[in-house]
Amino acid sequence: MQVPSTMLAIEIVAGTLKLTERTVPKPGFNQVLIKVTAAGVNRPDVMQRKGLYPAPQGASDIPGLEISGIIVALGSCTSESSFKLGDSVCALVSGGGYAGYCLASVSHCLPIPTGLSLTEAAALPETFFTVWSNVFDRAQLQQGETLLVHGGSSGIGTTAIQLAKAFGAKVMITAGSKTKCERCLELGADAAINYKEHDFVLEIKRLTNNNGVDVILDMIGADYFSRNLHCMANDARLVQIALQNGAKAEINLLPIMLKRLTITGSTLRARDDLFKAHIAEKLQQQVWPLLANGSIKPIIHARFALNEASKAHELMESSLHIGKILLELSL
C-alpha cells in the first residue's frame, strides 16, 4: 500500500490550532501506521492546546488521543499480531491523532465493532478505555450497585451510563441543562439532576433514602470533592479522572473514616503500553460484543473537517455538546 512522505496535520502554535504539513511517521517496534479516517476530540486535547497537559516524553506533539482508520504499514515484531495490512481498526494513541497518518501500538488497536462505521469507531477508544479502567477495574462497580456520574452528557458520561446499565448497575447523573438530563435518561440513566437548578447532594440523599451511592465518577474536582463525600454510602468509592473546576479542595477526613470510603484517581495517557493493552483485551472480550449487538453505542454530537479543529475545540469548551466530537478527514 503506497504511503506518501508528507501529510496534513494540526499543530499547536502559541495556544492555537494550525493546519500544517508534516512528515508521515514510520512505525517502530510493535507499532502500526494508520491512515486516519476520523479522530476523537477530547478535553485533554484542549488542555494540551492551552499548555496545561504536555505530551508525554516520546509522544507526538500533534494532539489527538483516539483514531480510526486503515493499517497501511507494520513495524517490527507486529507479525504475531492478529492485525494485518488493510485492516480497519480504532486505536488509543498517546498523541498524533489530528493528522492524515498516525502511529499506534498494535496492542492498543481494536477491530471495528459490527454495525459501526469506521468514522463512528473513532468515538470509542478514549472514553471506553477510561470508563472501563476507572469504573470497573479501579472502582469495582458491581451489579446492583449505584453509580453517580458528574458530567453525564459528556463523552465519558454517555459511555459510563450505558456500560454501567449493561452490567446491571443503577446510574444517576448530574448535568447542566434540562436537555442534557433528558438525553441521559433516554440513554438509560435512572435519575438525572440539573445541578444548576438543584443541590445534587440533597437530591442524591432523597433518591437513595439517605443511603448514598456506591461509586462516583467525577471529572469536576474542587468543591465537588467535599460534596461527593456527603453522597457516598458506606464502603463507597470515589474515582477522580479530571479537574475541570480546579485541583484544590478542603478535606474533612471524618466521613472518610466513618464510612470507610475509598478515594482514588487516575490519568490514562501516561500509563505504560502493557497497562493499556490489558484494558484493550477486556474491552474486546466484554464490551465489543455489546457494541456489536446494539446494546450500547457511541453518542456522536458533531463532526468537523480536519481544518475545522478550532471550531471543534470551541464546541468542546462551550460544553453545549452531548456525547462525542469528531474530526473526520474525509470531510
Hey, is 114 helix, strand or coil? coil
Whether 263 has a pLDDT exceeding 70, the answer reads yes
The pLDDT value given to residue 234: 98
Domain ranges of the chain: 6-124+269-328, 128-265
Determine the pLDDT at residue 81: 73
Q: Tell me, what's the pLDDT at 79?
A: 56
What b/e readout covers 227-240, taking b as 16+ CB neighbours within 10 angstroms?
bbbebbbeebbbbb
Percent of the chain with pLDDT over 90: 92
Query: For the residues 257-283, what does the mean pLDDT come to?
Result: 95
Which CATH code, of 3.40.1080.10, 3.90.180.10, 3.40.50.10490, 1.10.10.10, is assigned to 6-124+269-328?
Answer: 3.90.180.10
Task: Check residue 331 and give its pLDDT.
Answer: 67
pTM of the model: 0.95
C-alpha 94, offset from chain centre: 13
Does 1 have pLDDT greater than 90? Answer: no
Mean pLDDT for 52-80 is: 91
Give pLDDT, residue 82. 83
- Of 45-59, 62-76, 188-202, 292-306, give the lowest mean pLDDT range: 45-59
Q: What's the mean pLDDT when you consider all of the chain?
A: 96
Q: Choose which CATH entry (3.40.50.720, 3.10.580.10, 2.40.170.20, 2.60.40.650) describes domain 128-265.
A: 3.40.50.720
What pLDDT sits at residue 77? 80
Tell me what percent of the residues of the chain surpass a pLDDT of 70.
98
Distance in angstroms (rounded) separating the CA atoms of residues 238 and 146: 12
pLDDT at 80: 65
Q: Where are the beta strands (DSSP E) in the chain?
A: 6-13, 16-23, 31-41, 66-74, 88-92, 101-105, 109-111, 146-150, 170-175, 191-194, 213-218, 232-240, 262-265, 300-304, 324-328
Cα distance between residue 7 and residue 72, in whole Å: 14
Q: Is 154 helix (H, G, I), strand (E, B) or coil?
A: strand
Strand duo 31-41 + 170-175: pairing: unpaired
Residues 6+ apart with CB under 8 A from 267: 241
In the DSSP assignment, the letter for residue 95 is S
- Region 86-115: what's the mean pLDDT? 97
pLDDT at 78 over 80: no
Q: How far is CA 274 from CA 96, 108, 130, 277, 281, in A?
A: 20, 9, 15, 5, 11
No. of H helices and E strands in the chain? 11, 15
Q: Which residue has the cell 471524618?
A: 254
Q: What is the mean pLDDT of residues 78-95?
A: 89
Reported as a single tens digit per residue, the pLDDT across 196-249 is: 999 999 999 999 999 999 999 999 999 999 999 999 999 999 999 999 888 999
